[in-house]
Amino acid sequence: MTFIGQPMTDHREKEPVPSGKYIIRIKNYKTMEKQDGTISSVAIFHEVDGEPDAAEVTYFLNLVQPEDDDKKKYWKLAYQKGYFRTFGLEWSDEGFDPESWYGAEAEVSLEKQYNEKLGKEVNTFEVNPVT
């Protein structure tokens, strides 16, 4: 076996910031697909302005699915519009283009909380649904 030396202690995992108001910026996104290839949600990744050591903040935008009842469809669209308004993003009656989101900013209240699934603390934020 060959040992390969690396300065592993030099790497520090980025940490969530304390709860409070911050400006966050969209830096990337990833579409999440169901097994049949249908896009079910969009994971949107944000960086915290002025906090280079802050862990990225992820927001999941749930998309309307053909099997959704009227109530579920209503709330998914209400939260989508809330997210778009929070970040000043454009949309049309037909949908939206996430490629145009890069760099959009918003001031939000980040909460620092333990994520059971990930087994660590993360930052989260809420948007107000448009009802």
60-76 confidence digits (pLDDT tens) = 999 999 999 999 999 99
Q: What is the mean pLDDT of residues 31-54?
A: 95
Please state, in angstroms and rounded to a whole number, the distance separating the CA atoms of residues 87 and 106. 5
pLDDT of amino acid 1 = 78
For residue 8, count other CB atoms closer than 10 A to its CB: 6
Please state, in angstroms and rounded to a whole number, the distance separating the CA atoms of residues 12 and 17. 15
- Express each pLDDT in 73-115 by its tens digit: 999 999 999 999 999 999 998 999 999 999 999 999 999 999 9
pLDDT of amino acid 92 = 92
pLDDT of amino acid 113 = 95
How wide is the angle at C-alpha 92 spanned by C-alphas 40 and 28, nearest 5°? 50
- Say whether pLDDT at 131 is over 80: yes
pLDDT of amino acid 28 = 97
Distances from the Cα of 100 to the Cα of 12, 79, 110, angstroms? 32, 19, 24
